[in-house]
Amino acid sequence: MKVVARIEGTITRANGGINMKNIDMVVEGDILTIKVDLSQRFGKSSSGKSIIIASTEGNQSIPSNDDIKIGLNIYTK
């Protein structure tokens, strides 16, 4: 399949106004694939109750489709 769009966020990356931590999103046809490196840590959350592994930093548009949004947080205690 042909890759339609790709957005990567290894630490915090601005890509067309998108800031993400440790998230790689790829759209191939109608399939969205999300990759997260579970070994990474980005410090405590704002509440201090968990440690951030990955985040879209709020709701973001899916690559190649501004009508579909994603909000993703991955954390550990």
Residue 45 domain-assigned?
yes
pLDDT digits (tens, 9 = 90+) for 12-36: 344 455 679 999 999 998 899 999 9
In a domain, 8, yes or no: yes
Over residues 37-70, the pLDDT tens digits come to 999 999 999 999 999 999 999 999 888 888 999 9
Coil/strand/helix, residue 22: coil
Residue in the structure block whose two tokens are 């790829």? 26
- So what's the pLDDT on residue 17? 55
Look at 2 and 6; give whichever has higher pLDDT.
6
pLDDT at 69: 94
Which residues are CB-neighbours of 70 under 8 A, at least 6 positions away? 25, 32, 56, 59, 60, 61, 62
The whole domain housing 12 covers: 3-65
What's the DSSP call for residue 21?
B
Instruction: Specify if 72 maps to a domain.
Output: no
pLDDT score recorded for residue 3: 54
Report the domain count for the chain. 1
